[in-house]
Amino acid sequence: MKKTNKKILIIIILFFSVFFLVSRSNRGISHLKIKSYNHFPFGSNIEYNNETLIYSRKFQLHETTEDIASKNKVDSINITLPSSTWNITDLELNFTSIKLGREVKTIEDGDKVKFEELSKRTELGWGIQLNITEPTTIFGVYLYGFWAGNSPNDEILVQIQGYNSSLNIPNGTIYNSKTLNFSQIPSWNLQEFESEIQLNEGYYCLVLNGSNLENEGIEVYWRYNDQPQYKDLYRSKYDGGKWVEDGVEKVFLHKLIQRINRSYNPEEINMTVEFGGTDYNVTNGLEPYTGTLTIPNKNFSPNNEYLSLPIKNNKSIELLLNVSYYIRIQNFLFSEGNIIIKADSNNTWTLLPDINRYFYNYSVKFEYPKSWDKISILRDNGTGWANITDQIQFTNDYIIISNNTITPGAIWNITANSPNIDFTLNAPESEFGPGQDLEFSVFSPNSQGNLTFILINSLGFEEYQVIIENDPGEEVAFNYLIPTNPHGGIWKAFIFWNNETDGGFQSQSFKISSSAIPPILIGNDEEITGFIVTPQLIFIILLSAIITVSTSLTSYQIIKRYRRKIAEQRQKVFNKFMDALNLDYIIIVEKNSGINFYEQLLTTQPIDATLIAGFLQGIRSFGIELTGSEEQSHAIKLEYKNLKILMSEYKEFRIINIMKDNPSKDFHESIKTLSYDIDKSYGEYLKDFDGAINQFKGIKNLIEKHLHTSLNYPLKVAISEDIKIDSNEEELVKKALEIIKERNQDYFLASFLISSNKELNIRNIEAIFNLINKKVFIPKN
């Protein structure tokens, strides 16, 4: 290694010695610092043609608009913006008819694990008395229970019936009815009616009705508390073909999703609206149960095309209200455009803004450079270009295109001129031969910008092009090594300067000789034959040698690192796939209440509901809590009976993953990022969790994003000519179709496409992910 370092040191010393000799032999502008060149190949934002340069750039315009609208009987405020780039500057809200919205009222809860069974061999129905003390709207109920054996399908109904106070049983009058929604896991389950129920003050009965049950394999269990909060509520059961009383003090666990007719003034409940992370107080209006809120002079960006304004209060109740709003928003619109610079002419500027009117009182403001003049505004409504400059508001610094001049679907063209900025070109020599450096310098204008050098040979073809950034008033040198066999004659150098607001042009002619320079002689005037040796050629050879040596010393380590990186990436893909297939069941639990607000079964194999119920009860009973989970996600691996469980905890919730085998380390990281995304999207709901779970349905998309659970779904093939797939993906599609045909089914599983060869597996897994992303493989249902 030490010998290698010595060799490199000797080469570097030799390189700099030769470089010194070469630099001494160069003629021209040797005192200037040559700046780094930026080469722009074909397809860049520079276009040159016949002594004319077109420089493309984007222009910024400022658009503003206003909107006035109203929404009735809402519990939150959501305003749609034109796009996610718009900012809110002013907001006014006026509230009327502020009433109590939905709430979840817990009638009975408890820790005792006691259940009543509903089945063909026991009772075919159970009921619990409801005591409605004031006019109430019922939307649904929560029941705590589970099913075992066969799925109940639509044979068991949840009903609210009238009440026979003499016999303390349901009287057969059905106010609403729906099929039972239970899972195989003991938990709270939502039973939401298709339509709301208006109940007056009085007694009613909440019924689990299986009187038409025929399937002897169905077992449903409803949990009850024998030390209830309301001891005087009567139970009833369906026994021997009729309903009979079953006593008191054994109350089934249930919660009512209800709304009571109560109105509020905003200040009475400390009503606030969250905007930009700040809670703003709503003040009382002039009329009862009304309120107002004004938020002026803001510049808030929601970074979303939907502005969500949560409504809060100190009673943690959901409100139902009417709201009208005024909103003023702004956005920066970026327009395609260009500057045309050419000799003996003013510069021409063109903007092609895509102007679309949003809401009302929309306008576009464009601050133009002070050097611009002869500004014209053209508009094409589909009938040809019309000059509407006289309809536009002008000031010394900007123009405003107002709402009444903007028509849907119109095409816009803004043009202007600016003077050609002068600058000085310094060319000490005008004649050069083969192998020499063509050199000259430019004294740039007193503004920062770009100098574009274009060299045209004697045949009229572009020989070279380079762009150099300049500082204000800087002398910038241009250096070009003329080939050993150039086309002789007059060459021209065109120099264009431009920045965001101005442009300029200069040119210079050079005479290039095509004859060879005298050869270098060695020893007693012995000529080196076969080629011409120049100092520049020696420099290039030595530079190539140094690059070769340096590359050979480092290439092994680079290749080694590259191979390791590729192997790690492919292993991650493999782990991601196998972890998805390894996952059987996922449950997300709110920590304080123990309610499962999301669960998803991912296996076709039966899950032991009793084991899972026991595990969840153990968590509740022993109060398992992971230290530090308020700041970041923490996870532990557990084994309960024959279940392999990964439990992750973060802030208000736990994620419980039930798996066939222990997952990879990558799965732990996926669970951590999933926890953060759930908190970001649903953290506010969980802070004020009241048992309602409808708002958590979108968690399924987050789980798919992080855990790729669609790999467990039955899949089907959706072939489209518009979707491009490679040969490996095409082979997998053919294999999937063959599997569907062989099995005589309308679906296949991703695991069917995996072979015993791990290397082939990884390629197939990558292709499976691609086909799912391209929606060629899609879930069957």
Digit-coded pLDDT (tens) for 376-394: 999 998 888 999 999 999 9
Scan for tokens 């309602």, then name that residue.
692
Q: Picking from 6-10, 401-405, 752-756, which range would have the lowest pLDDT averaged per residue?
A: 6-10
400-429: burial string, b at 16+ Cβ within 10 Å, e else:
ebeeebbeeebebbbbbbbebbebeeebee
Among residues 428, 427, 444, 429, which one has the least CA distance to residue 505?
A: 444
Amino acid, single-letter form, for residue 699? I
Tell the burial category of 200 from Cβ atoms under 10 Å away from its Cβ (0-12, 13-18, 19+). exposed
Q: What is the pLDDT of residue 40?
A: 35
* Reported pTM: 0.53
Strand 242-245, strand 235-239: pairing: antiparallel
User: For residue 24, which phi and psi values (nearest 5 degrees)?
Assistant: -70, -30
User: For residue 107, which phi and psi values (nearest 5 degrees)?
Assistant: -90, -45
- The DSSP string of 376-426 is EEEEESSS-EEE-GGGSEE-SSEEEE-GGG--TT-EEEEEEEEPBPP-EEE
Q: What is the pLDDT of residue 773?
A: 85
Q: Please enumerate in sequence order all residues whose Cβ is within 8 A of that of 567, keeping only pairs 6 or more positions apart, or say none.
A: none
Amino acid, single-letter form, for residue 395? T
More confident residue, 200 or 719: 200
Name the DSSP letter for residue 559.
Answer: H
Rounded to whole angstroms, the Cα distance separating 233 from 131 reads: 8
Question: What is the distance, to the nearest Å, from the Cα of residue 15 to the centroid of all Cα atoms in its chain?
Answer: 52
Rounded to whole angstroms, the Cα distance separating 560 from 648 reads: 37
Q: What is the pLDDT of residue 496?
A: 94
Amino acid, single-letter form, for residue 603? T
Rounded to whole angstroms, the Cα distance separating 539 from 24 reads: 13
Q: What is the pLDDT of residue 38?
A: 41
CA distances in angstroms from 612 to 183, 316, 317, 402, 660, listed in the order given: 12, 32, 33, 65, 14
What is the C-alpha end-to-end distance of the chain, expressed in Å? Answer: 64
Q: Are 385 and 321 in contact (CB under 8 A)?
A: no
Q: What is the pLDDT of residue 504?
A: 93
Q: What is the pLDDT of residue 32?
A: 41
Strand 462-470, strand 475-481: pairing: unpaired
CA distances in angstroms from 698 to 599, 701, 702, listed in the order given: 12, 6, 7
Q: What is the pLDDT of residue 268?
A: 95
Rounded to whole angstroms, the Cα distance separating 328 from 342 reads: 43
Q: Are 358 and 57 in contact (CB under 8 A)?
A: no
Token digits of residue 645: 């469980």
Q: Picking from 135-139, 512-516, 542-546, which range would have the lowest pLDDT averaged per residue?
A: 542-546
Q: Picking from 12-21, 129-138, 484-493, 552-561, which range would have the lowest pLDDT averaged per residue?
A: 12-21
Q: Please enumerate in sequence order all residues whose Cβ is within 8 A of that of 623, keeping only pairs 6 or more positions apart, or say none.
A: none
Which helix (DSSP H) or strand (DSSP E) does residue 526 occupy?
Answer: strand 526-527
Taking the CB of residue 769, how many other CB atoms lie within 10 A of it?
Answer: 17
Rounded to whole angstroms, the Cα distance separating 126 from 115 reads: 11
Q: What is the pLDDT of residue 516?
A: 55
Among residues 688, 700, 697, which one has the least CA distance to residue 76?
A: 688
Q: What is the pLDDT of residue 532?
A: 46
The answer to whether the Cα torsion of 73, 77, 81, 84 is positive or negative is: negative
Q: In this predicted model, what pLDDT tens digit does every residue of 109-125 receive, in sequence order? A: 876 668 999 999 899 99
Q: Please enumerate in sequence order all residues whose Cβ is within 8 A of that of 269, keeping only pairs 6 or more positions apart, or say none.
A: 313, 314, 315, 317
Among residues 69, 107, 110, which one has the least CA distance to residue 91?
A: 69
Q: What is the pLDDT of residue 554?
A: 55
In 3-state terms, what secondary structure has residue 518? coil
Is the pLDDT reported for residue 597 higher than 60?
yes
Which helix (DSSP H) or strand (DSSP E) does residue 11 occupy?
Answer: helix 2-25
Q: Please enumerate in sequence order all residues whose Cβ is within 8 A of that of 520, keeping only pairs 6 or more positions apart, or say none.
A: 528, 532, 533, 534
Token digits of residue 417: 């001129």
Q: How many residues does the chain have?
A: 781
What is the average pLDDT across 736-754?
85
User: For residue 13, which phi and psi values (nearest 5 degrees)?
Assistant: -60, -45
The answer to whether the Cα torsion of 25, 27, 30, 36 is positive or negative is: negative
Name the DSSP letter for residue 773.
Answer: H
Taking the CB of residue 720, how many other CB atoms lie within 10 A of it?
Answer: 10
In 3-state terms, what secondary structure has residue 90? strand
Q: Are 776 and 768 in contact (CB under 8 A)?
A: no
What is the average pLDDT across 328-343?
93
Q: What is the pLDDT of residue 16?
A: 54
Q: What is the pLDDT of residue 756?
A: 55
Is the pLDDT reported for residue 58 higher than 60?
yes
Scan for tokens 């910008």, then name that residue.
449
More confident residue, 405 or 557: 405
Q: What is the pLDDT of residue 70?
A: 95
- Helix pair 535-582, 665-687: axis angle to 10 deg: 70
Q: Are 99 and 262 in contact (CB under 8 A)?
A: yes
Rounded to whole angstroms, the Cα distance separating 617 from 557 reads: 55
Q: Picking from 37-51, 305-319, 358-372, 650-664, which range would have the lowest pLDDT averaged per residue?
A: 37-51
Question: Which of 45-54, 385-394, 771-780 tops mean pLDDT?
Answer: 385-394
More confident residue, 43 or 683: 683
pLDDT band at 517 (very low <50, low <70, confident <90, very high): very low
Instruction: Give percent of the chain above pLDDT 70.
Output: 82
More confident residue, 240 or 426: 426
pLDDT band at 521 (very low <50, low <70, confident <90, very high): very low
Name the DSSP letter for residue 664.
Answer: P
Q: Alpha-carbon dihedral of residues 91, 96, 97, 98, nearest 10 degrees?
A: 40
Taking the CB of residue 717, how many other CB atoms lie within 10 A of it?
Answer: 17
pLDDT band at 693 (very low <50, low <70, confident <90, very high): confident
pLDDT band at 169 (very low <50, low <70, confident <90, very high): very high
Instruction: Give percent of the chain above pLDDT 90.
Output: 48
247-272: burial string, b at 16+ Cβ within 10 Å, e else:
eeebbbbbbbbbbbeeebbbeebebb
* Rg of the chain taking only CA atoms, in angstroms: 39
Q: Are 359 and 63 in contact (CB under 8 A)?
A: no
Token digits of residue 375: 């500004």
Taking the CB of residue 681, how many other CB atoms lie within 10 A of it?
Answer: 15
633-657: burial string, b at 16+ Cβ within 10 Å, e else:
bbbeeeeeeebbbbbbbbbbbbbbb
Q: Are 54 and 47 in contact (CB under 8 A)?
A: yes
Among residues 45, 51, 211, which one has the least CA distance to residue 123?
A: 211
Q: What is the pLDDT of residue 181?
A: 94
Token digits of residue 625: 């809590």
Is the pLDDT reported for residue 607 higher than 80?
no
Is the pLDDT reported for residue 5 higher than 60?
no
Q: Are 140 and 200 in contact (CB under 8 A)?
A: no
Question: What is the distance, to the nearest Å, from the Cα of residue 780 to the centroid of all Cα atoms in its chain?
Answer: 26
Token digits of residue 591: 């920590």
Q: Picking from 61-65, 392-396, 575-579, 717-721, which range would have the lowest pLDDT averaged per residue?
A: 717-721
Name the DSSP letter for residue 528.
Answer: P
Q: In this predicted model, what pLDDT tens digit does every residue of 563-592 receive, in sequence order? A: 677 777 778 888 888 888 888 889 998 888
Q: What is the pLDDT of residue 522?
A: 44
The answer to whether the Cα torsion of 303, 309, 312, 316 is positive or negative is: negative
Q: What is the pLDDT of residue 238?
A: 95
Q: Picking from 133-142, 319-328, 443-452, 712-721, which range would have the lowest pLDDT averaged per residue?
A: 712-721
Tell me the pLDDT of the chain averaged across its residues: 84
Among residues 257, 245, 145, which one has the least CA distance to residue 205?
A: 245
Q: Picking from 215-229, 327-341, 625-639, which range would have the lowest pLDDT averaged per residue?
A: 625-639
